Amino acid sequence: MAIHQPPQPADLVLSAAWVVPVVPGGAVYQNCACVIRHGRILALLPRAEAERRYQAAETLHLPDHLLMPGLVNAHGHAAMTLLRGLADDLPLQPWLEDHIWPTESRWLGADFVADGTRLAIAEMIASGTTCFADMYFYPATVAAVARHCGIRAQIAFPILDFATPWAATAEECLHQGLALHDEIRGDPLLRIAFGPHAPYTVGDDTFARIAVYAGEVDAAIHIHLHETAQEVADSLATHGERPIARLHRHGLLGPATQCVHFTQFVDGDLDLLATTGARVVHCPRSNLKLASGYCDVARLRAAGIPVALGSDGAASSNDLDLFTELRFAALLAKGLGGDATRLPAAVAIEMATLGGAIALGLDSEIGSLEPGKAADLIAVELTDPGALPLYNPLSQLAYTGSGSRVSHVWVQGRPLLREHRFLTLDFAAVTASARDWQTRIAATSAP
């Protein structure tokens, strides 16, 4: 005689018409449920079985939605949302030197960073990002805002060999960054990384110190690398070696190294990435808009190099919608290779989820819907005209405007967005602040 098993306790049984777990790759489940307990995924089961086996404090069925892991934006400058559209249609160096840096020198401070970061987090949550990697000034302020909003983040404190409003020297950058690392150690949602800005703004002595400190505290290194052909040419002229070789000489390449942009590479560069285990973060829209170059993602992946996706800052990419980023990544790969089969929808989605988790060293926690992982997930509503007819959910996610369809967001089982409504942010205050900054900055930026 069969023994009846009483239902097991759960906090939430969340079901939908479709579930994209990311692992196994390309899988799409119909009418399944994700069971959540204490912020973690207990099981992924057919809906009827989940409701039979678990007694949940809350049961939510979304009949017109798709459930999937939250997106991981593996590179950005959150506070730069306040500079969105300030200087368009310019190459990288004049964009930075003639517009962005002068504006930052006038306005940059903790209040600017707090308000810009809140605006960025609102935009990311609304479009399905549950984890972001940031590199910007006043990282303690970024950490405080992220913690308040309940989003997961890797915060790289910037390191440069010249004075900024945040720190006068590279040594001061390191001192403040290490203090922040110690302060938030043990936070389940936040990690601190070293953020040497780029090879052309950081000298050899500083690189050597970063290698020592990062090894001592076991922290990631997040750096703009091989972003433009000019960067590589200047390095060869000044140092007699390519930027990646210079990093390797200082012991800065390894599995915890996140190489952002990487539009310029030769076979020897790929060999260094592959042998050291360093990761690449691809930011296709920013690279295209600044005409910095093209990252051949398919070639990197063929060499076994993990690739994630990042939006970069809204000052260069104009928005932080990672669904749009993954669409550009897929289309660019096909166009570069002259091959429509390059970087299919399932792979682009994986890069925006598990790929980002791998790059940030978080793949044991997030990036896929698997038992034991944190319950960082989103619901995408597929009912508007642009989502119909629906033959292949993966195609809809990758090639149509899915960011605007995100209706629900959870991080570690905590709801951050419900029916498009923010639960941890005062959206009216966020937008009012953004308009106030617009007025102030525009008054001093007019020709």
Q: pLDDT tens-digit profile of 32-41?
A: 999 999 999 9
Nearest residue to 437 (alpha-carbon basis) of 117, 53, 21: 117
Nearest residue to 78 (alpha-carbon basis) of 180, 172, 156: 156
pLDDT tops 80 at residue 4: no
Alpha carbon distances (Å) from 236 to 143, 152, 231, 245, 339: 37, 38, 9, 10, 33
Write out 413-432 in H/E/C secondary structure.
Answer: CEEEEECCEECCCCHHHHHH
pLDDT tops 90 at residue 443: no
Q: pLDDT tens-digit profile of 76-121?
A: 999 999 999 988 888 878 888 888 888 888 999 999 999 999 999 9
DSSP 198-211: -TTTS-HHHHHHHH
pLDDT tops 50 at residue 1: no
How many helices (H) does the chain have, and how many strands (E)?
A: 18, 16
**Whether the Cβ atoms of residue 66 and residue 380 lie closer than 8 Å to each other:** yes
- In this prediction, residue 74 carries a pLDDT of 98
Q: pLDDT tens-digit profile of 193-228?
A: 999 999 999 999 999 999 999 999 999 999 999 999
Q: What are the phi and psi torsion angles at 159 (to 5°)?
A: -130, 120
What CATH number does the domain located at 71-359 have?
3.20.20.140
- In this prediction, residue 97 carries a pLDDT of 86
Q: Which CATH architecture has domain 8-69+367-412?
A: Roll (2.30)
CA distance 170 to 182: 18
Q: What are the phi and psi torsion angles at 314 (to 5°)?
A: -65, -15
The pTM score is 0.97
Q: What is the mean pLDDT of the chain?
A: 95
Task: Name every residue whose Cβ is closer than 8 Å to that of residue 322 and which is 6 or more positions away in sequence.
Answer: 71, 72, 73, 124, 127, 128, 129, 309, 311, 352, 403
Identity (one letter) of the amino acid at 4?
H
- In this prediction, residue 3 carries a pLDDT of 57
pLDDT tops 70 at residue 262: yes
Kindly indicate the confidence band of residue 446, based on its pLDDT and cuts at 50, 70 and 90. low
Would you list the domain boundaries of the chain? 8-69+367-412, 71-359
Tokens linked to 301: 């992946």
pLDDT tops 70 at residue 318: yes
Name the pairing type of β-strands 377-381 and 307-309. unpaired
**Whether the Cβ atoms of residue 81 and residue 431 lie closer than 8 Å to each other:** no
**Whether the Cβ atoms of residue 376 and residue 364 lie closer than 8 Å to each other:** no
Looking at residue 303, what DSSP letter applies? T
Identity (one letter) of the amino acid at 84?
R
